[in-house]
Chains A and B, each alone.
Chain A
Amino acid sequence: MMEILAQGQGELIGWHDPDENRRWVLENKSRELRDKRKSVTQAVREYIHDGDYLALGGFGHVRVSMAVVYEIIRQRRQHLVLAGKTAVHDADILIGSGCVDRIEVAYAFAQELRGLSPAGRRAVESGACRVVGETSNAGYQWRFLAGMLGVPFIPSRNLLGSDTLARSSCKVARDPWSEKPVCLIPAAYPDVAVFHVPRCDIYGNAQIDGTLIMDWELARAARRVIVTTEEIIAPEVIQERPWHTAIPFYVVDAVCEVPFGAHPTNMPYLYYFDEEHIGEWLEMSKTPEGTRDYFDKYVYGVPDYGAYLELVGGETKRAYLADVEHLRQPLRAPWLQKK
């Protein structure tokens, strides 16, 4: 029996006995190469349910499937538990909308250089959104690694000695070999994970340009996977460079073609952050009324993502953000003037 030296008090979310999860995978995940194309509306209706433990691919405001985030809000999902793995604009919007009321935090309630998030902070400080536990970015990374491996935990050397560990779902044990304390990070199997990628075939074989962040591990740990893609490409194109497949078809449940689907987040090599839009959100979300106005204008007030894109500037905006991404135009950021 491994000697347990300390134990975090955080709530353990998304963990399953490895045999239970393996059984679930055996019974529920199709191995068939079949056409998985769906609309975003269908994919959200089918795979994201009230109370689900949700994880979003990318990096909070980099390569986030905002098309799905807005659709979750449009369909008024309730009581979602969010994996706060570098949760930035994605979490801010989801918490602000009221769809998420619990979060496990590696990073949340802030927007990196842009500062703290008014909506996220208001929700957590009023108790509308509850922090179920703390961890770190590598802590979350390795929860998904354990999930992907189908093992109950990953031993690690971060978190030790900190209050982050005291509020996490980790335990500290004595390593039977070195006899040093090691942190045991429990596996996480999100009910559903959502990714935005540049290219994917109809079966779900997805390519990613730029950093993978945690997507490799998260896609393989989650029970259900929705992929939105800038474009659907032929399986033959995937097969020409199969080493570029970051997410393989057998973990993917739905494929949705959504050009510009990560707006206003950064889509590497295609478009940079839309700081004008994020700035508008940060300004409007300073009050509950402004927050409601934002959702009325950009989510409930438009029938779908295409209409949203027209509202935020359409092709002109996309071309400008492509120029910023490729360093051809300077960044316009209204929040800079207020710093």
Chain B
Amino acid sequence: MTTTTKPTYTATELMACVAARTLEDKRTVLVGTGLPMIGAILAQRTHAPGLVIIFEAGGVNPRVPTLPISVGDSRTFYHASAASSMHNVMSACQAGYVDFGFLGGAMMDRYGNLNTTVIGPWEAPEVRLPGSGGANDVGSLAQRTIIIIRQDRRKFVERVNFITTPGYLDGPGARERAGLPEGSGPYRVITQLAVYDFDEASKRLRLRALHPGVSTDDVRAASSFDLLLAETLEVTAPPTEEERRLLQEIDPAGMVIGK
């Protein structure tokens, strides 16, 4: 790290703010548990008041009062446009009504393929993880998927040993060959160090922006695979005081943001 002064914000706060800024007003976003929820709620309370937040259990366009513990709890349809069903939401996703899918991940490869199922052999797991949940559905069916993950060499891996959720599989055209919806796929990856997109030609992960005080060497040291670099690298703006205040308001118990 090249920082000389300790920032006043945490990495989690920064990730939440970057997540929020990635979302666009008057679009739909299907969110997973934790930081994706916080990012979407923050976006709605800042630049994207018309952002439509959707939860897999059926909540459509709620005014989420405080951070839900579950993507299905009562906070996910508080003052909502609809308390529908999973069938309604997943069908909408498959039919093209969901612009953004927002996922957390355990392990990821250069094509944005995610593993949240198992570490070690599937038949005899070293660590059993939760499985897909709605992640495969979101990663398969949302038009643009945003992934939030804390990167290190064990999480940014050469090959995921289990593709729970498809990214670009093994490269250009692979999603369409598999039958996944045309033009869909991973869009951004947000980590505690940087923001990535995917190179148009190779569909490989490409560094797009560095967080304040982070160097490309830091980022490379925290990945097991080679990273492509965009021609010009942006630097992430730090969280504003207003954003930080809103994060505390969204997660007053400090479940994700911390106290």
Contacts and interface: CB of A to CB of B under 8 A. Distances in A.
Say which size band chain A's interface belongs to.
35 or more
B237 interface: no
A327 interface: yes
Contacts of A266: 69-70, 73-74
A124 B131 contact: no
B94 to A, nearest CB: 6
Given A159-B136, A163-B162, A62 B70 contact: yes
B215 interface: no
A91 to B, nearest CB: 11
A113 B178 contact: no
Interface stretch (B147-155, B190-198, B227-235, B251-259): B251-259
Interface in A110-133: 110, 112-114, 116, 120-121, 124-125, 127, 131
A295 interface: no
Given A141-B86, A157-B140, A158-B136, A330 B69 contact: no
B133 A106 contact: yes
Nearest to B59: A211
B184 to A, nearest CB: 9
B85 A116 contact: no
A211 B77 contact: yes
B258 to A, nearest CB: 8
Given A167-B122, A336-B253, A162 B134 contact: no
Given A161-B174, A163-B162, A107 B140 contact: no
A211 B58 contact: yes
Contacts of A42: none
B2 to A, nearest CB: 30
B182 to A, nearest CB: 9
Contacts of A135: 132
B71 to A, nearest CB: 7
A116 B181 CA distance: 32
A147 interface: no
Nearest to B123: A131
Contacts of B252: 330
B68 to A, nearest CB: 8
A183 interface: yes
A138 B70 contact: no
A274 B34 CA distance: 19
Contacts of B162: 163
A112 B132 contact: no
Which one of B55, B59, B90, B177 has the highest number of Cβ atoms from chain A below 10 Å of its Cβ?
B90
A189 interface: no
Nearest to A266: B73
Interface in A145-184: 145, 156-164, 167, 172, 180-183
B76 interface: yes
A141 B179 contact: no
A275 B85 CA distance: 25
Interface stretch (B17-25, B39-47, B164-172, B241-249): B164-172
Given A134-B117, A212-B84, A333-B255, A109 B128 contact: yes
A214 interface: yes
A216 B86 CA distance: 10
Nearest to A326: B74
B180 interface: yes
Nearest to A104: B131
A161 B87 contact: no
B129 interface: yes
Contacts of B122: 163, 167
Nearest to A213: B57
Contacts of A134: 117, 131-132
A164 B70 contact: no
Contacts of B131: 84, 105-109, 134, 164
B24 to A, nearest CB: 24
A156 B94 contact: yes
B211 interface: no
A139 B65 contact: no
A161 to B, nearest CB: 3
Given A138-B137, A158-B140, A161-B163, A106 B72 contact: no
A121 B128 contact: yes
A284 B124 CA distance: 25
A62 B136 contact: no
B99 interface: no
A60 interface: yes
B70 A161 contact: no
Nearest to B60: A211
Nearest to A217: B87
6 contacts: A59-B73, A107-B132, A145-B87, A211-B85, A268-B77, A273-B70
> Across chains A and B, which 5 residue pairs bring their CB atoms closest together, nearest first?
A181-B179, A161-B178, A211-B58, A59-B72, A107-B133
Interface of A: 58-62, 84, 86, 88, 105-110, 112-114, 116, 120-121, 124-125, 127, 131, 134-139, 141-142, 145, 156-164, 167, 172, 180-183, 210-217, 266, 268-269, 272-273, 275, 325, 327, 330-331, 333, 336, 339
